[in-house]
Amino acid sequence: MRTREIIIGAIVGSVLLFVAGILVGLYGIPKSTSESKSNVASLATECSTTTYDAEWDTYRNKYLQKAAESSCYKATCDTEDLPRTYISYHLDGKSIKIDGKLDDPAWLEVPWTDSFMDIRGPDYPKPYFDTKVKVRWDDQRLYVGARMQETHFWGTVTRDETAVWKENAFELYIVPDGSLHNYKQLQINVMNVTWDLMLKKAYIDFATSCDRSRAFDSSWDSDMRKATFTDGIVNDINSTGTFWSAEWSLSFERLAQHTDRPAGKLKPDENEAWFFSFARPEYKYKIVNGKYVKDESAPTEWWSWQPTYAINNHLPSRIGLVQFKRKMNDETFKWEKWHLYRALFEVFEAEHKYKSVSGKFIDDMSLLQLAPKIMSSSCVDLSVTLNQGHFTVTAISKLDSNLPQAHIRDDRYVWFTN
């Protein structure tokens, strides 16, 4: 009898906790205006007439509870939450020989980026091979050098303009105009085989899988000069080493193609910042009949300079920043537009999270998971407009009245207007 009472009590308690969770989720969110109250009531009515299972309803209420908890976050306009940054210095008359060795004086006088980490973030295991990058520029071209620890050098992709990333490679992503559309991707393997292409927008920002298949344009040509170097012999199982390096020279004119950069403004301005990402897939191998063969059954490691917090390199609003400077003694990264981008990115992601649990975008930001530092009008004035199921976020700087309005759409396109 005692056991039966315990079981009944446990069931009743679980039911009461579940109901309490629903009530907290529905009514525990901040309701600062009558409009917010109306929207909450409308949302509750909509969901009560829609058929969802209990697991979905629990997930939705956890979302709403997190939205309420965001009120505990600190309101600030600081820029401590910058992604990883790097300062690229002008060559100022110096030259770089593209031979893959990275031993030119122009390379030796500038620092490396921070070491790569797991693409999912610092909470995941540190990569067992180190990777670092350097970036320089002159008035016509961009120079990128990467050094990757490795012990066995192997490759099977031997033809340019093919999927180099399907084996060990180095990848580069560049957004020349800040729009996050028509960004450029380049890949290179240890055999100096490359692929350069243009992404019209991130794959997941296309509505259908059919659209995604047309996301990239492989006909775009970077006019690259390239080279790789290893301290071992490629595809020789008896030869091991410690690293391989890759070196690129890319045309600013080609990088600017199909972007919003003004005509005649191909090279970066002093202190201009571009979104950049560097990444590295690391595959396991087997030795079969005296040859390296990729181990298709083993998991792939994905390492990157700036983590996207997902196994996905194509999230251009989660990548790092490279700032272009001419004076070697200027070591401070400072970009006046970051607080606008940060606000746009956070509202963008919050809208998509909201849609994942409610099936639609909204223009009431009080129902989104946004911290006060984003909502605070002391930093940025934000507004969301809806049009036929799509949203546009507008951000107006309160820190610098000279900055134009910034906008982002639900397909991640960013632009500025006066």
pLDDT at res. 43? 36
Rounded to an integer, what distance in angstroms lies between the CA atom of residue 370 and that of residue 384? Answer: 13
Confidence band of 212 (pLDDT split at 50, 70, 90): low
- For helices 338-358 and 54-69, angle between their N-to-C axes, nearest 10 degrees: 150
Q: Enter the tokens of residue 412.
A: 């991640």
List, for residues 248-275, the tens digit of each pLDDT value.
999 999 999 999 998 889 999 999 999 9
Average pLDDT score over the chain: 85
The answer to whether the CB of 158 falls within 8 A of the CB of 192 is no
| Overall average pLDDT of the 47-62 stretch | 52
List, for residues 86-143, the tens digit of each pLDDT value.
999 999 999 999 999 999 999 999 999 999 999 999 999 999 999 999 999 999 999 9
Q: Does the predicted TM-score (pTM) go above 0.75?
A: yes
Cβ-Cβ contacts under 8 Å for 309 (sequence gap 6 or more): 119, 120, 121, 318
- Please tell us whether the domain made up of 85-325 is placed in CATH 3.40.640.10: no
As a three-state string, the secondary structure of the chain is CHHHHHHHHHHHHHHHHHHHHHHHHHHCCCCCCHHHHHHHHHHHHHHHCCCCCHHHHHHHHHHHHHHHHHHHCCCCCCCCCCCCEEEEEECCCCCCCCCCCCCCHHHHCCCCCCCCEECCCCCCCCCCCCEEEEEEECCCEEEEEEEEECCCCCCCCCCCCCCHHHCCEEEEEEECCCCCCCEEEEEEECCCCEEEEEECCCHHHCCCHHHHCCCEECCCCCCCEEEEEECCCCCCCCCCCCEEEEEEEEEHHHHCCCCCCCCCCCCCCCCCEEEEEEEEEECCEEEECCEEEECCCCCCEEEECCCCCCCCCCCHHHCEEEEEECCCCCCCCCCCCHHHHHHHHHHHHHHHHHHHHHCCCCCCHHHCCCCHHHHCCCCEEEEEEEECCEEEEEEEECCCCCCCEEEEECCCCEEEEC
pLDDT at res. 63? 53
Confidence band of 79 (pLDDT split at 50, 70, 90): low
Q: Enter the tokens of residue 42.
A: 């409308």
pLDDT at res. 315? 96
The answer to whether the CB of 175 falls within 8 A of the CB of 198 is no
Bridge partners of residue 244, in order along the sequence: 148, 230
List, for residues 383-406, the tens digit of each pLDDT value.
999 999 999 999 999 889 999 999
Confidence band of 65 (pLDDT split at 50, 70, 90): low
pLDDT at res. 262? 87
Cβ-Cβ contacts under 8 Å for 197 (sequence gap 6 or more): 184, 185, 186, 216, 217, 218, 220
pLDDT at res. 171? 98
47-51, 73-77, 219-223, 376-380: which has the minimum mean pLDDT?
47-51
> What single letter denotes the amino acid at residue 337?
K
pLDDT at res. 125? 96
Element spanning 390, H or E: strand 390-397
pLDDT at res. 370? 85
Cβ-Cβ contacts under 8 Å for 53 (sequence gap 6 or more): none
Query: Which residue bears the tokens 């303009």?
Result: 161
Residue 99, number of CB atoms within 10 A of its CB: 13
User: 166 exposed, middle or buried (CB, 10 Å; 0-12, 13-18, 19+)?
Assistant: middle
**Structure letter (DSSP) for residue 33:** S
Rounded to an integer, what distance in angstroms lies between the CA atom of residue 17 and that of residue 19? Answer: 5
